[in-house]
Amino acid sequence: MRCTMAKPKTDPNYKVIAENRRARYDYAIEDDLECGIILQGSEVKSLRENGANIAESYASVENGELWLINGYIPPYEQAKTWGHEERRRRKLLVSRKQLARLWSDTQRKGYTLVPLVLYFNHKGVAKLKIGIAKGKKTEDKRATEAKRDWQRQKQRLLKHHG
């Protein structure tokens, strides 16, 4: 009986479109949540081709709905007449229970909803991962940076002396 290691299958549908790297530096992420996002046809084509930017965007609960505000999706050149607005508000899809929890976290506890990653999942559907976060103060950012530097230095020492 032969036992062979199966190679991990790379899924052709899974693709990270945009990542908000600054979010983990500026915010202390308490929890994260995967949301669906309502897009127009030209937006989906543009995401598959060009990418997007969610660095300056944020999410907000308004009138019982969750919205992505100020997310940038570049225009799709072939959709001249039926294109889309680049920075329009896009509705995010979550369950009612999750929406109620997000609303209470933002209103009562003072959390912020920060987009972390925009990606196509394994089925090829666009998803957005949102972080429920609190803003870091300057000294917290310095501590995070010092910890990261120490980890790097420790790895170098282990590599050379080790």
- 104 is a domain residue: yes
In a domain, 102, yes or no: yes
CA distance 109 to 115: 18
* Helix ranges (DSSP H) in the chain: 22-26, 41-49, 96-107, 138-161
**Total domains, the chain:** 1
**158 within domain boundaries:** no
Q: Flag whether 40 is in a domain.
A: yes
Do the domain assignments include residue 108?
Answer: yes
Residues 8-44: pLDDT tens digits?
557 777 888 999 988 888 888 899 999 999 998 888 8
In angstroms, the first-to-last Cα distance of the chain is 39
CA distance 134 to 28: 5
Summarize pLDDT for 88-136 with one digit per residue, the tens.
999 999 999 999 999 988 888 888 999 999 999 999 899 999 999 888 7
Closest to 52 in 3D by CA, of 117, 112, 113: 117
Report yes or no on 149 lying in a domain: no
Given the DSSP bridges, would you call strands 15-19 and 112-120 parallel, antiparallel or unpaired? antiparallel
Domain holding 90, by residue range, is 15-136
CATH number of the domain at 114, please: 2.40.280.10
Whole-model pTM?
0.77
Instruction: Name the residue among 128, 126, 125 with its Cα closest to residue 19.
Output: 128
pLDDT computed for residue 5 by the predictor: 45
Both structure tokens of 134? 């609190």
